[in-house]
Amino acid sequence: MKRRKPQILPIRIYGDKTLRKVAVPVKEITPELKDFIEDLILTMYETDGVGLAAPQVGNSVRIFVVDAFWFQEDGKKDPVVLINPEFIEFEGQIEHEEGCLSLPEIYEKVVRAEKVKIKGLNENWEEVQYEADELFSRALQHEYDHLDGILFIDKIPKLKRIFLKKKLRELESSTDRNGVNKGKQMHHTHGEL
Ligand code: NI
């Protein structure tokens, strides 16, 4: 079978209802799903992201992709695909600034586990496991949250969220009647997730 060329998918922006849904587990891998995963990977790279979850492109399934190293100097592209992921271990705590492709131009410090161990399935339906720290660990936790309808702004102090109200309302304003917000498609440079 001839595979189709991967395509860039529009990123859903804050206000889109898919971003707030709990995504459903994947039951089996299909050619269509493999194509979708390729689209997800391409979209992550084309938007200069280091992670992208399926709900961020309007598909409420438990899949995300992460590549925490590709934009580093001499970093080559090596995407991690996780289907139905589950954390096995959390260790330590660390605060760091985060950004999200679905929340353009918002950056806030978020406390997360320092190190994590995660397992799941890859695009070939094989069990995979990763141990992660630094940006890789943060990206895994951020993307996992997307599968539960959680955004990083939910994890910042209330006062900081109040300061963001106007900006969030602006982002929300391009949501249509069906709850779809394809907003302004941006090119990012900060390693958004
Ligand atoms: Ni995000």
Q: What is the pLDDT of residues 42-57, one digit of tens each?
A: 999 999 899 999 999 9
Amino acid in the structure at residue 74: D
Mean of all residue pLDDT scores within the chain: 94
In the chain, domain spans: 17-172
Neighbours of 122 (CB within 10 A): 14
User: pLDDT tens across 54-65, in order?
Assistant: 999 999 999 999
CA of 50 to the centre of ligand 1 (A): 9
Neighbours of 125 (CB within 10 A): 12
Asked if the 17-172 domain carries CATH number 3.90.45.10, the reply is: yes
Measured distance CA(45)–CA(71) in Å, rounded: 9
CA of 3 to the centre of ligand 1 (A): 28
pTM for the model stands at: 0.95
Amino acid in the structure at residue 57: V
| Active-site residue list | 143
